[in-house]
Structure 1
Amino acid sequence: MKKIGFLLFLLSLLILLVPLQNQASASEARVHIFLDGSELNVSKDAKVTNVNGSIMVPFRVIGENLGFDVKWEQKSKKVLISKDKTSMELAVNQKNATVNGKKVKLDTPPLLDKNIVSVPVRFVSEQMGLRVSWDNADKAVYLTTAEAPPAKDNGTGAGAGDVPVPPPVTRPDSTGNPSDGQDEGTGPVTTTPAAGQALINGISFSENRLMVSTQGGAVTPKVFTMSGPDRVVVDLPNTSFSPDFLGGQAAGVGNQSELEVSGYPDVSKIRYSQFSSNPATVRIVIVLNYAKDYAVYNENEGPDSGLLIVDLNKTGSAEPPVTPPVGGNGKKVVVIDAGHGDQDPGTTGYSKTKEKDFNLAVALKVGQLLANEPGIDYVLTRSDDTYLKLAERAKIANDLNADVFVSIHANSTGDKSTAANGTETYYQRDASKELARVIHNYVSKATGLKDRGYKYGNFHVIRETKMPAVLIESGFISNPKDEAALFSESVQNAIAQAIVDGIKEYLGIQ
């Protein structure tokens, strides 16, 4: 009797485990499928299933929506799919398929469930010449024909999906998305930039404007909107991330990164990734809180550098206009540069504080004050913990034809000495000397630290900018007294106000 009881216990345990095992290997969801930006008509009864990372779609959906000829052979349990010069046979529960007479191995075989046969959408689509990506956040499959550019959405679109050096990627195409960085059926694919491609050096968001700094070849962006939720999607073809932008790491196709954005009611977040490696494409997605018009400004100043701006303050076509995105109507253009950022922390303070954090905190406060000045348009080179090359910081100001450039920093002795202290301001050209004098007078009083004067300095950002430009060393964070002052809210507020007051006096704005 004990033996029979034990067997009954095992049987009941197996009955409980089988549904759990099936649940772990396959999950059903209301998945959306898009072809060249337009959603396919998939009935609610046609369940799309995720089996071990492979998206399984009823084969009738493929035939009805993609224009393939599909047939089902009941006796042999085979699906026959053909279009143009390509034909394939897939058998239920068989991992070997036949494409144009040649055997090809499948990661996941066709499934038969309740008289519905599902096939792996990636395998079928890629064999027919389509590119496929999967957005896990939106539960969406994106199919793209080789010749089709992204187009304006019909109101049912979805989100994004973020050269090669030999050996090349073995798959015919590897795509990902900024949501989970996963390529259906495989992990992220590592790539490195190749010669001839444009490279992204910086991405920042300031004053409701996305700014993308590039170098290398000219970039022609494809910008379009999608909904559910609302987005502005920016595709940059023949583009990869520079090693500097990635902190020396190689770009992974599908590896998602996110730009922190706060204080902008239009924008929920910004995400970006190496969308595909073949062709190399970077995708940046501005996730909106509601539908929003935009304008695109693409400044390609030759083969070596460019600045793309997606302006949510403007309306109109995505075609690059001739006028600059800021300024006009008598307004002065001011660029505020928070030094360092991301993998470049700048100097380290006496209490292990980071210069980049001080610089950004003050720059954001300056931006908040300048936003209340009707005679000034301003741009922050970075509004979060983002890395930009020195050349890109200067380029932003030059491309905007700014009237004033101010770079915010904190100083250090570079050794264990804590004696050095005080505030100093640098200029590089005679045209910047008066701006340095005026701003330094305000900032030095605001810090309450030793006045070290304004002086000549050969720093890149004030040398390569074409307008009056200064670099402020607010104090020595290697000095414990200076550090304590600079990282206090009251002193930071005072410095920000001093910078604004100095800019206004120099520009003659009341």
Structure 2
Amino acid sequence: MKKTGFVLFLLMFIVMMVGVQDRAAAASGSVQIVLDGNELKVSKDTKVTNVNGSTMVPFRVIGENLGFEVKWEQKSQKVLINKGSKSIELVVNNKNATVNGKKMTLDNPPLLQNNIVLVPVRFVSEQMGIHVSWDGANQTVYLTTNPQPPKTDSGTGAGNGDVPVADPSPGTQPSGGTSTTEPGEVSDPSVSIPPVTGNAVISGISFSENRLMIASQGGTVTPKVFTMSGPDRIVVDLPNTAFSPDFLGGSTAVAGNQGQLDVTGYPDLKNIRYSLFSSSPSTVRIVLDLSAPKAYSVYSDPSTSGLIIVDLNNSATPTNPVGGSGKKIVVIDAGHGNQDPGTIGYSKTKEKDFNLAVALKVGQLLEKEPNIDFVLTRSDDTFLKLEERARIANDLNADVFVSIHANSGPTTAASGSETYYQRDASKALANVMHKYLVKATGLPDRGVKYGNYHVIRETKMPAVLLEVGYLSNPKDEAALFSESLQNSVAQGIVNGIKEYLGVQ
């Protein structure tokens, strides 16, 4: 679809969501719209209707702005929406719908009012994999889509952080198979690693299980990894790379910009820093500040389309260190991050913070499981595109993928826990995970549901998306941001994973 048509649809969609919270605000055009971190403007003439908590929109809005083929069958009172392989059938005053031949149940059916057919926008949006969150206090709608692939000739800098001290200057960078000595410092020989593939951008950096994971895309990456002393550190240079425009919030990068990854609970590490170290050639540098000299191994494989792993657990021959010795591989995804806050809570809490807090707690628990290896898609307040989150799991050939989220409703009344799956192969996992989720939260059971979300649609293994509770509900919000409930949810997630995988 054309980007202009897609953005127009998003604008219409946003107005619908705003109408649920404050129709007067939508009509006056006073609502702020943030699309993937950028504020947009919306028209003032869109009419929406709120029916029993569901926002209804004229069905032709969908066709005209998204490019779907939309048909109205007067005799059968049917709305038919088609594009490519997607087919949706809705019937006026009927809660039963069909999506690609699969029967589904609507919370509220389409309506016919004043010769205009209105359809439930939430249902349609779920089929499109669009995430919408609402900040009622600031009259702001946050919309997260699947962005276009980044250009390979641009990148972003980092936020605040320590500038690398006494590392090799751009003019003395080590090359593969050699060693470099700076005045007063001694480096070990570089590790020679096979290329990943072309000119590339770095789209994700995370640390879990004493392993640094770097996700790249778009070209060849030949890591140059070496150690330095005074202080002890491991340096990872990635020549001919830049940061993805999405990774650090869309800012423009220049050489010297840097950021850092929060690392706690790992005695080998003091800190992890990353920067666009050089602009000619463009080079991303990642520095692992060590507590003491540490052996390591480096893994990259062209078949993984850009996954690089620096493993501090051993210095064996570079092979994929995740899932060795028959261990099951679990990928834990903390939704949103950085410029994408997700849902804004009743008291202005941010969903991204809740998601990350629970994901880190899950990671701490999984570290104690001898038969499970795990990877966090993000271990800090950074941002990965939806396709990157799915690709990491697919590249690792994971056994299970769990995405952690919090929900938002049109009023403060909505409460409870939901679990979403997209593929039939994921339904058994969803049932198990939901059982433990509801027990862990003590919130109302809103059931296991089908949802067409990107991260559970494009992953190849059983995958679920957990909506732990409603941040728009002040009681749910207070509970979700309590340490005790987060610990309980984390343990419930681990228990569900173990039961599903059949591991002790």
| Residue identity opposite 1:238 in structure 2 | N
Summarize the alignment of residues 321-360 of structure 1 with structure 2, pairs less than 5 Å apart.
321=318, 323-360=319-356
What is the CA distance between 1:145 and its match in structure 2?
Answer: 5.8
| RCO comparison, higher one (Cα < 8 Å, 6+) | 2
Equivalent position to 1:393, from 378, 381, 389: 389
Contact 2:202/2:215, CA 8 A, preserved across alignment: yes
Check conservation: 1:219, 1:300, Cα contact below 8 A. no
Residue identity matched to 1:449: L
1:234-253 to structure 2, matched below 5 A, reads 234-253=236-255
CA distance in 2, matches of 1:439, 1:143: 49
Question: Aligned to 1:151, what secondary structure does the other structure show?
Answer: coil
Distance 2:163 2:347 in 1: 42
Quote the residue 1:228 is aligned against. 230
Map 1:23-42; keep pairs closer than 5 Å: none
Q: SS at the partner of 1:252?
A: coil
- Cα 1:481–1:219 shift into 2, 3 Å: same
Matched, 1:198 2:214: no
Asked whether the 8 Å contact 2:298–2:309 carries over to 1, the reply is yes
| Aligned residue identity for 1:325 | P
**Equivalent pair of 1:153/1:227 in contact (CA under 8 Å):** no
Matched, 1:504 2:495: no
**Correspondence list, 1:210-289, <5 A:** 210-289=212-291
- 1:437 maps to which of 431, 434, 439: 431
Shift of 1:157: 2.8
For residue 324 of structure 1, report the CA deviation from its aligned partner: 2.1
Are the aligned partners of 1:299 and 1:399 in contact in 2 as well (CA < 8 Å)?
A: no
Matched residue SS, 2:478: helix
- State how far apart, in whole Å, the 2-side matches of 1:449 and 1:147 are: 56
Q: 1:137–1:306: structure 2 CA closer, same or farther, 3 Å change rule?
A: closer
Measured after TM superposition, the shift of residue 314 of structure 1 is 2.1
1:374 maps to 2:374: no
SS in 2 for 1:342: coil
Q: Give the unaligned 5+ runs of structure 1.
A: 1-134, 160-195
Q: Is the 8 A contact 1:206 1:382 kept in 2?
A: no
Q: What code does the residue aligned with 1:397 have?
A: A
Map 1:95-244 to 2 at 5 A. Answer: 138=165, 142=169, 144=171, 151-152=178-179, 156-157=184-185, 197-244=199-246
How far did 1:256 drift?
2.1
Q: Structure 1: how far apart are the matches of 2:170 and 2:468?
A: 53
Q: Offset at 1:154?
A: 5.9
Query: Residue 91 of structure 2 corresponds to which residue in structure 1?
Result: none
Q: Secondary structure at the match of 1:484?
A: helix
Distance 1:300 1:141 in 2: 28
Q: Secondary structure at the match of 1:369?
A: helix
Residue 491 of structure 1: aligned partner: 485
1:313 and 2:307 are equivalent in the alignment: no
Task: Give the SS at the match of 2:404.
Answer: strand
Cα gap change, 1:336 to 1:137, in 2 (>3 Å): closer
Structure 2: which amino acid aligns with 1:451? D
Partner Cα separation in structure 2 for residue 225 and residue 145 of structure 1: 14
Counterpart CA distance in 2 for 1:483 and 1:313 is 38
Q: CA deviation at 1:143?
A: 6.8
Q: 1:146 to 1:374 in 2, by over 3 A?
A: closer
With the length of structure 1 as denominator, give the TM-score of the two structures: 0.62
Deviations 1:112-145 (A, max 9, x none): xxxxxxxxxxxxxxxxxxxxxxx97645773736
Aligned to 1:448: 442
> Is the 2:338–2:382 contact (alpha carbons within 8 Å) kept by the matching residues of 1?
yes
Q: How does 1:391-430 map to 2 (within 5 A)?
A: 391-413=387-409, 415=410, 417-430=411-424
Q: Which amino acid aligns with 2:211?
A: R
The alignment-based identity, stated in percent, is: 70
**TM-fit CA distance, 1:360:** 1.0
Contact 1:219 1:239 in 2 (8 A): yes
Q: Is the 8 A contact 1:152 1:225 kept in 2?
A: no
Question: Is the Cα–Cα contact under 8 Å of residues 391 and 459 in structure 2 kept in the other structure?
Answer: yes
Deviation, structure 1 residue 342: 1.4
1:480 and 2:482 aligned: no
Distance 1:217 1:482, change over 3 A: same
The question of whether the paired residues in 1 share the 8 Å contact of 2:332 and 2:359 is answered with yes
Q: Following TM superposition, by how much is the alpha carbon of 1:405 offset from its aligned partner in structure 2, in angstroms?
A: 0.8
Structure 1: how far apart are the matches of 2:386 and 2:368? Answer: 28
**Per-residue deviation at 1:447?**
0.7
In the TM superposition, residue 340 of structure 1 has moved relative to its aligned partner by 0.9
Would you say 1:297 and 2:324 are equivalent positions? no
The alignment's C-alpha RMSD in Å is 2.2
Cα gap change, 1:145 to 1:476, in 2 (>3 Å): closer
Within 2, Cα distance between the matches of 1:410 and 1:254? 36
Which residue is equivalent to 2:465? 471
Structure 2: how far apart are the matches of 1:482 and 1:461?
25
Q: Deviations over 1:82-131 (max 9, x none)?
A: xxxxxxxxxxxxxxxxxxxxxxxxxxxxxxxxxxxxxxxxxxxxxxxxxx
SS in structure 1 opposite 2:339? coil
Q: Deviations over 1:136-167 (max 9, x none)?
A: 764577373699558345695379xxxxxxxx
Q: CA separation of 1:151/1:365 partners in 2, compared to 1, >3 Å: closer, same or farther?
A: same
Aligned residue for 1:431, secondary structure, equals helix
- Which of the two has higher C-alpha Rg? 1
Partners of 1:146 and 1:498 in 2: CA distance: 47
TM-score, normalised to structure 2, is 0.63
C-alpha distance 227-264 of structure 1, shift in aligned 2 (>3 A): same
Give distance in 2, aligned partners of 1:213 and 1:355: 24
Contact 2:170/2:277 (8 A) holds in 1: no
Q: 4+ residue runs of structure 1 moved beyond 6 angstroms?
A: none
Cα pair 2:334 2:352 within 8 Å, conserved: yes
User: CA, structure 1 residues 342+150, in 2 after alignment: closer, same or farther (shift >3 Å)?
Assistant: farther
Instruction: Give 2:413's aligned amino acid.
Output: A
- Higher mean displacement: 197-206 or 140-149: 140-149
Contact 2:248 2:338 in 1 (8 A): no
Between the aligned partners of 2:186 and 2:310, the Cα distance in structure 1 is: 19
Q: Distance in 2 between matches of 1:152 and 1:289?
A: 22
Aligned letter for 2:178? A
Change (3 A) 1:136 1:470: closer
Quote the Cα distance in structure 2 between the aligned partners of 1:205 and 1:147. Answer: 24
The residue type paired with residue 289 of structure 1 is S
Q: CA separation of 1:268/1:439 partners in 2, compared to 1, >3 Å: closer, same or farther?
A: same
Amino acid paired to 1:307: L
Which letter maps to 1:372?
K
Aligned residue identity for 1:509 = V
